[in-house]
Amino acid sequence: MNKDYTKIGFKAGLEIHQQLDTPKLFSGAPSYLKNEEPDYVIKRKLHAVAGESGEVDVAVAHEAALDKEFHYEVHKDVVSLVELDEEPPHSVNEDALNVVLQIALLLNCEIYPVSQVMRKTVIDGSNTSGFQRTLLIGYDGFVETSFGNVPIETVILEEDSARTIKREKDKVIYRLDRLGIPLVEIATAPEMKNPEQVKECALKIGEILRACRVKRGIGTIRQDVNVSIKGHDRVEIKGFQDPKMMVKTIDIEIERQLEDIMKEKEKEKIVGERAKWTEGGVRNALPSGETEFLRPLPGKDRMYPETDLPLLKIGRERLDKLKKNLPKLKTEIKSELKKKGLNDELINLVLDNNEDLDEFLILIKVYSKDANLIGKMVSLWRNEFATKMKKSIDEIKNVLNERVLEKILEKVKKKELSEGDVKEVMQRILEGKKVEEAIKIEKASDDDIEAEIRKIVKEKPGLRPNAYMGLVMAKFAGKLDAKKAMEILQRIVS
């Protein structure tokens, strides 16, 4: 889309919600989702009441007019009385607090030394209490992009809502397993200059989040984009799973807003009054890049203090300790792995899994001679075995654990095993052999290899070295030290 984004007054900001991989925020209950039938169901309805201003919020009125009944599915092992709104909240989970502080620091934020847990009114029935507990942690940070820094306005720690199972005309079925899971909410300033910067900023924030203790997978992160152009109210687009769709979706939204403005001008010409085409709203991102209307934008957040919890104080000593142990970002780790000699393909494979990275860093200390060998052992070969041997990753990890891999590398280090035979040894161990037995690979002698190579070269003169090597390897069927054979071959054909 060839648009002059400055001329049309483009403004955009991001709001990202990411689940943390810790117990629930105000109860300590386990934070995992359930697929089994619920133990029981409770039912409630939403009633619109005036807020402290004496007025009923427009979004509240919209939801209440739908007259829906909310059904909450409960699993006893992951839902406490706190999530049922039958017991006061417990103190903020310390693990969740430490993770969100790490995220705020990596986003270059200032940290509030004292913060008050607040209640934020929720209008769609996704919280049994009718409000969401939220806690302001950081402010005034920034993210670097190629288009310039993007200010981070706030970093907030809050509880996730209940999970939607089914929506019907007159009722919504929620599951309470997700309610209370800690969320970090990151809000940027609406200062991004074009859709590409929005995408780049989202990817950068995503990299920071993945460096910390957060949940992975679909549904664990929710990304919203606020978009407006000159003459049109703000539109909030929800439902981005993939940042790659942001550019297309935002450009289509800009076109829609431009059409709204044109329709308004036509309306003014015809009836002489301002139409309502340019009002904002909340819209849902569709896979096509288009959006659909969800609901009006709510008014200002109705926030009031949580009376059951004291002020949260974050001391300098705690922050200093966290600063000394901030996790490294993927770009930093990539640079370090390159310095160790790992090639780009294996770097990406190792970084796909934090456990693989941890194993790599441990094993490289045992055998630092060949980083690519270590990379294959902890990533590529493990994945290959899972496919070819039809074993789960967990099964493979249990057999080819860190100690077993260390033993294999010790054998390589002592030259009791060649690097080229490591894969076969690992496969033998997976098949049930012990390490000492698995490394006993029968090898052809150097004399036998040389004799066979001379014979093949004499019978098939003029082939390339790789072609000869293929014939030699086929002849010895795994009983060959490939590196040694290549050395002999090169000496003979040179």
pLDDT for 395-429, tens place per residue?
Answer: 888 888 888 999 999 988 988 888 888 888 898 89
> If pLDDT is split at 50, 70 and 90, which confidence band does 300 have?
low
CB burial readout 467-478, b (16+ within 10 A) else e: ebbeebeebbee
Which uninterrupted H or E stretch holds 373? helix 371-375
Tokens of 109: 């934020």
| Of residues 46, 55, 242, the one with CA closest to residue 126 | 46
β-strand 182-188 against 11-19: which pairing, if any? antiparallel
DSSP state of 420: G
Report d(CA 370, CA 386) in Å as an integer.
Answer: 24
Backbone angles phi, psi at 86, to 5 degrees: -115, 0
Task: Pull the structure tokens for residue 137.
Answer: 């942690």
* C-alpha R_g of the chain: 30
Asked whether the predicted pLDDT for residue 349 surpasses 60, the reply is yes
Q: How many CA atoms lie within 13 A of 339 on its CB side?
A: 7
444 pLDDT band, cuts 50/70/90, is: low
**253 CB neighbour count, 10 Å cutoff:** 24
Question: Measuring CA to CA, how many Å separate 209 from each of 32, 101, 103, 230?
Answer: 19, 12, 7, 33
Evaluate whether 306 touches 129 at the Cβ level (below 8 Å): no
As a whole number of angstroms, the distance between CA 160 and CA 175 comes to: 12
Helix (H) or strand (E) holding 46: none
Is 70 exceeded by the pLDDT of residue 14?
yes
Nearest to 203 by CA among 239, 242, 235: 242
Q: Which string of DSSP letters, residue by residue, matches 130-144?
A: SEEEEEEEEEEEEE-
Cα 193 to chain centroid distance, Å, stands at 25
Q: Which secondary-structure segment (H or E) carries 253?
A: helix 246-271
Q: How confident is the model at residue 54 (pLDDT cuts 50, 70, 90)?
A: low
In b/e form, how buried is each residue of 413-434, taking b as 16+ CB within 10 angstroms? eeeebbbbbbbebbbbbbeeee
CA proximity to 217, closest of 30, 22, 19: 19
Which backbone phi and psi does 7 adopt, to 5 degrees?
-65, -40
Share of the chain above pLDDT 90, in %: 54
| pLDDT band (50, 70, 90) for residue 169 | confident
Residue-level pLDDT at 264: 84
Query: What is the percent of the chain where pLDDT is above 70?
Result: 91
The predicted-structure confidence for 76-124, as pLDDT tens digits, reads as follows: 999 999 999 999 999 999 999 999 999 999 999 999 999 999 999 887 8
Q: Closest Cα to residue 475, out of 455, 461, 493, 490?
A: 455
pLDDT of 2 reads 67
Average of per-residue pLDDT values in the chain:
88
Distance CA 19, CA 12 (A): 23
User: Is the pLDDT assigned to residue 43 strictly greater than 60?
Assistant: yes
Q: 371-402 pLDDT, tens per residue?
A: 999 999 888 777 788 888 888 888 888 888 88
